[in-house]
Structures are given as C-alpha cells and as structure tokens.
Chains A and B, each alone.
Chain A
Amino acid sequence: MKLPTPPAVRTAENNSPPRMKTVTRRLKFESELDLSFGEHVAERAYGQKLLSCIQCGTCSATCPLSHYMDYTPRKIIAMTREGFKEEVLNSLTIWLCASCYACTVQCPREIHITDVMYALKREAIARKFYPARNPIPVLAKAFFERVRHDGRNTESRLLITLYLRTNPFKMLKEALLGFHLFRTGRLSLKREKIKGMKELRNMIDSVEPRKEAVPL
C-alpha cells in the first residue's frame, strides 16, 4: 500500500499554474453523524475519557507518523467523539499507528490514545471496513488464524500468507531479503506448534467479546 504522495507544487516560477480544482461540498449535517460512535469506541478502549480531551495537539506533535496521516491523532479523537464514523474508519491513521505509546505518555488528560487506535482498528476489521489489499488487517487476521491453529507464529509462513493475499508480486521484491535472512539462519521454516492446542483453541473460541463489541 503506497503512501499518498502530495502532488508536486505548481508555481508561477516553474511555469505550471494551478489546475482548476473541482468544487466539492464538505458540509456535515448532524443527521450524517453517528452520535453513539464515540461512546462505543471509548467503551471498547477500556473506558477512555475521550470527553476530557482539550484538543491541545500534544499527541500529534509527538507522534512520529503524524505527518504521514490524513487525520492526525488529535483529529481522530475529535472526530470519534463527535460521531464522524465514516471518516474515522476510512482514515489511513488507524493503520499507520505503530502503537509506540508516545502520545499516551504525554497526553495532559491521561487519555490512552493508543488503546483508542486499537479499538478503531478492531471496529474497522470487525465491520470488514478496509481496502481489500490493505496489508495490515490482512496481516492481523492471518496472524490470528495461525496462532489459533498452531499456538505459535511461524514468521516465514505468516509472511507468505500475507503476500499471497495482498500482493504476490511483492514476494519477488522481498525475495532477496528473504534469502539473506534464510542464509543467516534468521528465517526458520520449521513449523512451531504447541502441545496444549486443543485447550488454547477452546479458550480463544469461548471468550465472550467485550460488551458492545461489533460481533466478528
């Protein structure tokens, strides 16, 4: 998945006057919002107090990925609590978040923003609301399946599954790296599996989802 690159700047100096942009209407009506979305997400993030956010912007300032995001973390919190469900679940932000917790540690209202991002990832995945080839939810699901099956994760198998499901050509690009990892003994092909698999599967399958979670 490529990052959206900003278009090259057109200036009078380089003899490229701006193109006429299409007029779009960006008015948001109250009826288009989902007013329960904020509460729902906060609940799934172990009761984070999204309402306390003063929109100071510290989270965006410290996030190392915020300048690649379409909506900065601060905006996501504002939009989530106001009910801009479509925009939030459509955003690049929730997938770009690397859960480094820099925002959580500095938030002056002590809101666990990272946990909110995880909750939004969960919402998007549960609603099957992401681009088909977006590798991150595909990776998460593949990981989930593998661990549910074997109890442990075999990285080589996981990566192959990921590439097959998103972009098989990528496998060729990464083949050289894969080869060197294999050569230095850092890519194990041996399948890791645990003994107590039946109990583990039973445990995982029987866990009740958190209340108000969108069912899988």
Chain B
Amino acid sequence: MPETNGHDAPRVGFYVCHCGHNIAGTVDVAEVARFAGTLPNVVVSRDYKYMCSDPGQELIITDIREHKLNRIVVASCSPLLHEHTFRVATEKGGLNPYFFQMVNIREDVSWVCSDHDAATNKTLDLVRAAVRRVAHHRSLVTKHVRIHPDVLIVGAGISGIHAALTLANAGKKVTLVEREPTIGGHMAMFDKTFPTLDCAACILTPKMSAVKNHPNITLWSYSEVTEVSGFVGSYTVKVKRKPRFVSEELCVGCMECIDACVYKEGKTPDEFNQGLSKRKPVYIPFPQATPQVVLIDPDTCIEFKSGRCKKTCVEKCDRDAIDFTQKEEIKEIQVGTIILATGFKTFDPKRIPYYGYGKYPNVYSSLEVERLVNASGPTGGDLVLRDGRHPKTVGIIHCVGSRDRKTNRWCSRTCCMYSLKLAHLLKEHSEAEVYNFYIDIRAAGKAYEEFYDKLLEENIHFIRGRVAEVTDWSARPEEEGKLIIRVEDTLIGVVRRVPVDMVVLAVGMEPQADSQDVRRMFNISCSTEGFFLERHPKLAPVDTFTDGIFIAGACQGPKDIPDSVAQAGAAAAQALALIDAGEVELEPNTAYIVEEDCSGCKSCLNICPYTAITRDEIRQKAVINEALCKGCGTCVATCPSGAIRQNLFEDDQIYSEIEGLLQDKESVLTGGGAWRAPA
C-alpha cells in the first residue's frame, strides 16, 4: 500500500495497553479507549492486554492495512523499552516508522499515581496530546553510518591483552596502546594468583608473547593517546610515542648495556619493584618485559643531564640500537571502535597515618609484598624486611582505604582473596606466624571459599576486627622492638594486643589518577567514585553511553582477573558485533539547518556539547554533522533566527502536544481561557 508523504489527512490508530495489571489496575483503560475514539482523526481505538506481544503487534499491522491508517499512537510503557518494537510493527504494516508516537502511561502514570481517577484523567490528557502531535509527524529516513573495521585498545594489562587477542584472532586489525614501557599491567607484578596459586608470570607471558607476535596487532608501548575525535564507526586518534632512546627494531633485549652503564649500581627507585630496589638510568622493567627492549630515563641519565658521559652503553651494544637523538613521535590512526582497559591504581596507604606506612619501615603495602615474595623480585623471593630481619610474625590488615566513608566507600572485592593468598605465600616463604585482621571474608568466586578452607587448615590466625592503629609503644617486655596491633577480636569478644615484625596493608583498588582526564578525552562518563561508567550495571556492563566505545576490566570497577578477562571478551564481542554488522543506525532525531534562515552568526557553533556544528566559510552558513548530533536540542533553542529545527521535535509537533494537554483547562498561561498556540 502506498506510503503517505505526511500531507494526506491523518487517519490515526490508537491502542492502549493493559500491561496485565500494571496499567489496567490503576487506569481505566476501557474509558481511555472510548475517549480516544472520540478525538478528531482517530479512526480505530482499541485496548489490549499486552500490546508488545506478537498478537498485539499484529493488531497494528492488520489495522493499518484494513483501515488505511497513516498514524499510530500506542499508550503503554516507556519508550526506552518498546518504542523500537512498535516502530518496527508500524514499518511492517507498510508505514514509515516515524509516523508512530508513544505515550508512557506506566512509568509516568500508573506506577506513580495511586488515585484511580487522577491517573485516568492524566492519561486522557496525555493521549489527547499525543494524538494531536502525531498528526504533524513527517516521514524520516534512518541514517546509516559505516563502521571502520580497525580497533583501538587503550591499556595492555590482562584485559587489554585478552581483548586484543580475541579481536585479532577474529581477523580485525588492532592497535594496542600502553603507557608503560612493558605490557602486562598489574598482573605482571604478582607472584601467584588466587585461587589456583598459578604463577602469574607463567600464565601471562604466553599471552604477552602472542600479542607481540600476532600479525593483526600493532603494539605501541611507552605511548599515550593524546586526542580523540570522530564518532562511532570513524574515530580519529592521535597517539604520542614517547622516546625510549633505544630502537625497538634493533634492540634484542640482551641487557648488556645495563651492565655496562657507568653507574655501578642503581640509584633510582625501581617503579616495577614498588621502590624496594634501585635501577640504573638505562633499564628494563623486568627481564621478560614485552616488548623486550630497554629504555633510558632522561631524568637520571648523565648524558642527558650533562652531555658528557662515556656512553659505555653505546660502546657495548653491538646492534647500535641506542639512539640519544630519538624524538617523540605523534601517530594518527583511524578506527571504528575503541576499548578502554586502563586498569586501576592501589590506594595510597600514606593517607591513613594510623597504620604507620612510611613511618615504620616494616609496614608494607600488598603490592610491595607481591614483589618481595616474587622470585624475580628485589630480594629473589627471600622474605627479608627493610631493616634486614626475617619476620617471625606477620600481620595482614584487610580493608585498607576501603569500606570507609572517610576514604573509599566501596569494597575493593579482591583484597580478601589476595590477603588470603599472601598469608599462604608468607607462611610458605618463612614459617612465620601469620595473622589476618578482617571485617568480613569475601570469597565469592569459583573455588574461592575452598581456598579459604585450605588456609584455615594451615593454622593462619583469622581475627575478626578492624585494626585501629599500628604502633610501637610496648606494654610488656616481649613487645619491645615490635609493631603492636591493637584490635578487638569481635568473635571471641576480647581486646587483644598482637606484636608483629611485619605489617602488610591490603590496600584497595581505585580509579587511575588521571581517569577524569582520560574519560573526558574519550567523551564517556564516570560514576561518583571515578570509575568509568557502564551503560547499565546489570545488562550492559561493558558498553558506555558513547556508541562505539567500550570499557573492560578494573577501570570499570574493582575486580579480579577472571572477571577482567570475561569483560575483555565481552567488550571484544560488542566491538565485533558492530564491525561485522558493518554499519550502525542513527536515531533521526537530529537537528538540521534551514539555510535560508541562517544568518551565519555562529551562535550555535560553540554551544554544541558534541562539537557537531561547524561553519562553512564559503557559504557562511552553519553545518550540522548528523552522525555526531545526539539531538539534545541546545542549538535549536539557541539559534536567534530560529533557523535550526529538530527532527521529531518540530515546533508544530511540540505546540500541538501542549495544546492537547491544556485544552479546556484553565492555566496560568492562558489567564483563564483555553490556550492557543502562536500562529
């Protein structure tokens, strides 16, 4: 049947949904249907139990054909839920889908109003408004945008690595950008992982190696994203490649230059070893770093500071890989989708002076202890303290910085498990007496509770009590020289003083320090805590509110390795769905310029939050990029000439809706009489 062009006399089909008891229990749907039937232009008016069901949709399709309808109005639930369903039904019936209007009488009426009469009256007003509005609807074309098949992944910890491998294996070209000189993230620092006690490096390095060797992955380490522009399907990204002063192509990672350096021993705190050891100006984060290329720190290298170094490193390198003239490079790439996997940072325990971190040398953060017990760490896995002693007792304090309104309100999810793991490792490395001080033991994952059972059997003391202070004042001779933890053992019901040699603080997980800057650059949102915001906490944990950008791993919220890997796979799948679909539909509620009316005044240019408006200098008119426009309406309201209009929100549509609402009502606007729209 011929599609109307919007100029024929409107023939409206109206449907009100019972939604079971949800709407019909409060709103008199029969009355609504009867009332709608009396409105001008309404040809068919029905009520039905479940409009969104197949038979419900069939009603619409059949009626369009039989009654030659050219407008559809459905009064039911929220458009967020079923607008798309009914638009599809309208289209199936042969009409342009945008001749459809939805009225929300569930979330907006029956779910918030308990007075039946008031609810029904409100519904009648809303229905009258919608019927008047829909008459002014025009047919619109859904725009499609092509998706560039390449992907950018920011952050190469376990999440970024897994997402990259998944996409690369699917045949997509991935650019993987990592800020540190090596990939692997925090996982590369761990000794063993819970609950299996797998060696972290052993399970991670094969994946790191796969990333390095995969033909579809371009790995840019020691690099940062500096600028992002574009929209879903075509993002333009600028990446800054920081100079290592060593050629990545030539260096084979033999590390002879490090031995040869004029510094006899390291003087700079080693970042990877959390400051527990020192490194030289020329260094590699750890021997299995990927890419296996050394780098030179310009802040500590003598050649940079004075220009007068013997450069024994250059002498030693038989590949001529060292190049002090290397410069920063800016690269530009085009991608269709982006995955952010930028990870987390640990809570700084200096913020809680009560625990003595930084004051007492034998108070450690958990990350420091991971390096300490690691065979490739600063002490080769020997549990030796900063003052040279081997601890005979160790206290592990849970929830440092977490679950506290004064620091971070949330639970960091992984600390209980890693504290249990550290307890086991510390006991293994030293036969020390180990105490865990906790509030709750959170062991919710697969095989986690069993891990806790095993730990109980290893004679590790579990004391339920949050530690208030770590102090060095002793009340008895046997406490001299130790760190005392005073705690209430809440389960036994007594206050205890536990002297320990070493204190381990189980610090929580926080967003990265620059997470606000990063999320602004990518134009996504953050939650109040500062983690990147997912589109829906249950049903869309890896999507963001910006189409084409996905998040995965700890940057979305504290989580362990299995969950990070799962999210990385999910994000890769979401990206693949877009890429393989090839194109994406855009909601045609975009703004458009009526050129005759545009005076070229540029008022709209800077107020667009999505930078969708530019100015054509030659014709001196504003131009709107439909793909970037999100239909917020700001420019429409701003334009002093009224030259900007918005699809689906045209003036005549809005005014007629208002007219419908206020008809026959006294109002402040009208001063008593019925309101009339301006001509």
A–B contact at 8 Å CB threshold (below):
yes
Q: A67-B495, A74-B490 are in contact. Are A106 and B468 (CB under 8 A)?
A: yes
Judge whether A108 and B404 touch: CB under 8 Å: yes
Which partner residue on chain A sits nearest B489 by CB separation? A57
**Distance A59 CA – B487 CA, assembled complex (angstroms):** 9
Contact yes or no, A56 B495, CB < 8 A: no
Closest to B485 in A: A61
Question: Contact at B488–A110, with CB atoms within 8 Å?
Answer: no
A74 to B464, CA, bound (A): 13
Q: Is B476 an interface residue (CB 8 A)?
A: no
Report if A66 contacts B (CB, 8 A): yes
Decide yes or no whether A99 CB sits under 8 A from chain B. Answer: no
B466 contact set on A, CB distance < 8 A: 56-58, 61, 108
Interface residues of A in 56-75 (CB under 8 A from B): 56-62, 66-67, 72, 74-75
Looking at A57, A59, A62, A75, the one whose CB has the most chain B CB atoms below 10 A away is A57
Asked if A55 is at the interface (CB within 8 A of a chain B CB), the reply is yes
Contact indicator per residue, chain B 440-478, by CB within 8 Å of chain A (1) or not (0): 000000000000000000000000111111000000000
* B329-368 residues at the A interface, CB under 8 angstroms: 354
Q: Which A residues, 91 to 149, have Cβ-Cβ distances below 8 Å to chain B?
A: 102, 106, 108-110
Contact A106 B354 (CB under 8 A): yes
> Number of contact residues on A: which range applies?
10 to 19
**In the complex the two chains form, is A61's CB within 8 Å of B403's CB?**
no
- Taking CB atoms, residues of chain B closer than 8 Å to A67 are 495
Does A54 count as interface, using CB distance less than 8 angstroms? yes
How many Å from the CB of B26 to the closest CB on chain A? 33
B439 touches A54 (CB 8 A): yes
Say what secondary structure dominates the interface of chain A: helix
Q: Which residues of the other chain, A, contact B490 by a CB distance below 8 angstroms?
A: 55-57, 60, 74
Partner of A57 from the list B404, B406, B465 (CB cut-off 8 Å) is B465
B402 to chain A, nearest CB (A): 9
Among B403, B406, B439, contact of A110 (Cβ-Cβ < 8 Å): B406
Nearest opposing residue in chain A for B352, CB measure: A106
Q: Are A61 and B467 in contact (CB under 8 A)?
A: yes
A124 CB, nearest partner CB in chain B, Å: 23
Q: Which residues of A contact B403 (CB under 8 A)?
A: 54, 108
Q: Given that A72-B488, A74-B488, A106-B354 are contacting pairs, would A58 and B406 also be in contact in the complex, using a CB cutoff of 8 Å?
A: no
Q: A66-B495, A67-B495, A106-B354 are in contact. Are A61 and B405 (CB under 8 A)?
A: no
Complex CA distance for A56 and B405, rounded to whole angstroms = 13
> B354 — which chain A residues lie within 8 A by C-beta?
106
Specify which of B404, B406, B488 is in contact with A61 (CB 8 Å cutoff): B488
Find residues 479-525 in chain B having any chain A CB closer than 8 Å to their own CB.
486-488, 490, 493, 495
Contact with A along B382-417 (1 / 0, CB 8 A): 000000000000000000000111100000000000
B469 cross-chain contacts in A, Cβ below 8 A: 61-62
Q: Does the CB pair A57–B488 fall under 8 Å?
A: yes
Closest Cβ–Cβ distance, residue B419 to chain A (whole Å): 15
**A109 and chain B: residue at smallest CB distance:** B405
- A61's nearest neighbour on chain B, judged by CB, is B468
In the assembly, what is the distance between CA of A122 and CA of B487, in Å?
29
Taking the closest CB of chain B, its distance from the CB of A108, in whole angstroms, is: 4
Least CB separation from B491: chain A residue: A57
- Residues of B near A102 (CB, < 8 A) are 468
Residues in chain B within 8 A of chain A (CB atoms): 354, 403-406, 439, 464-469, 486-488, 490, 493, 495
What are 17 A-B interface contacts by the 8 Å CB criterion?
A: A54-B439, A56-B466, A57-B439, A57-B465, A58-B466, A61-B466, A61-B467, A61-B487, A62-B468, A62-B486, A66-B488, A72-B493, A72-B495, A74-B490, A106-B354, A108-B404, A110-B406
